[in-house]
Amino acid sequence: MGLLAAAFSALAGASATVWWESEPAADTGADEEIARDVELPDDAEDAGERPWLTGKAGPDIDVVHPLAALDDEQLEELVLRDPSALGAMSVGAPNAGALFNGIQLEESPLWKLADPEHAWGTRESIDFVVHAIKRVNEYFPGSPILYVGDFSARSGGKLRPHQSHQSGRDVDLGYYYSTGPAWYKRATAKTLDRARTWTLLEVLLKETRVEYVFMDRSIQPLLKEYALAQGEDPEWLSRVFENPQNRDSIVRHRWGHATHMHVRFENPTAELTARRSYPILQQAGLVGGAKKKRKPATKPRSTRL
């Protein structure tokens, strides 16, 4: 029990990810609801490997993993005794992965879940979204509710109509509208609440770990224009939004995102936990993919007397 107590203590003490501050089209006029029964073919892009996943943290990344003090033998003991103590795990890639020990986002007066059954994510992803929406309401008291779309299914994996949303690191967030709360409604220059939507995006970029944001090219200039008017650094904004000189921006055009933004988070804790723990869970048969030993072939008994 000493090992378990120590592990629980470590998990509790390091459950919060260290957040850092990022350093560095034409309006169609349409105001319509968009059907959801279509595949979103281009939201499955993945950034690939990040240095901290192999233990080589960059100068701007400070990740102290709650299981770092446990060697492989101690970790295996913890996995077998109480896998729930490991916390949430983001397994594999967003477009080919799973979620273990996921957390469900709860309802709130500040937001509305479009589909509670698909509101499962890692602790980091959930906390990032909650933090950003609360920030908007601190800056703009009395803000209308924001619709929160899909995170992942409870155990991750394929979630139609998406190609991603499989490992608890993706979430669809609605826009704030000047016309009131709405879900899956095309945002335009006439209907987009630029102040609140920019604040939401700004907080996500500066105070959480964002990997990508997918947003229609008709929305990006509206937010950039507003941010510039508020005195935001033009050079920083040129790295945030797509432009002819920068196709490697954080916010990128993807078809199907004029009604919402798709945010993909980095999850240092949940991804590293999966890297270390998932193979043990597989061997123990607690998750899929474990190798089953084949029984030696035997000759069938003869039915003859």
Pull the structure tokens for residue 176: 């704030």
pLDDT band at 63 (very low <50, low <70, confident <90, very high): low
Bigger pLDDT: 56 or 135?
A: 135
- Is 260 part of any domain? yes
Tens of pLDDT along 140-195?
Answer: 999 999 999 999 989 888 988 888 898 999 999 999 999 999 998 999 999 999 99
What pLDDT shows up at residue 187? 96
Q: Is 55 left (phi over 0), alpha (psi -120 to 50) or beta?
A: left
Question: Would you say the C-alpha torsion 178, 111, 15, 46 has a positive or negative sign?
Answer: negative
What pLDDT shows up at residue 199? 98
CA–CA separation, 198 vs 213, rounded Å? 13
What pLDDT shows up at residue 161? 84
What pLDDT shows up at residue 95? 83
- Is 298 part of any domain? no
Give the pLDDT mean for 87-115. 93
- 126-142 burial, b if ≥16 CB within 10 A, otherwise e? bbbbbebbebbbeeeee
- Is 135 part of any domain? yes
Q: Which three-class secondary structure state does DSSP give residue 278?
A: helix
At residue 172, what are phi and psi to the nearest 5 degrees?
-100, 120
Give the domain CATH number at 119: 3.30.1380.10
- Is 184 part of any domain? yes
Bigger pLDDT: 32 or 145?
A: 145
Q: How many CB atoms are closer than 10 A to CB 49?
A: 8
Instruction: Judge contact between 96 and 39, C-beta under 8 A.
Output: no
The chain-wide mean pLDDT, for the chain, equals 79
What pLDDT shows up at residue 64? 62
Bigger pLDDT: 287 or 261?
A: 261
What pLDDT shows up at residue 238? 93
43 DSSP 8-state letter? S
Collect all residues with Cβ–Cβ distance below 8 Å to 5 and sequence separation of at least 6: none
Tens of pLDDT along 225-271?
Answer: 999 999 999 999 999 999 877 778 999 998 889 999 999 999 999 99
How many separate domains does the chain show? 1
Q: Which of 57-66, 83-92, 229-238 has the highest mean pLDDT?
A: 229-238
Q: Which residues form the domain of 86? A: 2-21+29-283
CA atoms within 13 A on the CB side of 204: 29
What pLDDT shows up at residue 294? 41
Q: What is the pTM of this model?
A: 0.78
SS3 content of the chain, % helix, strand, coil (to 5): 30, 15, 50
- Is 126 part of any domain? yes
- Is 114 part of any domain? yes
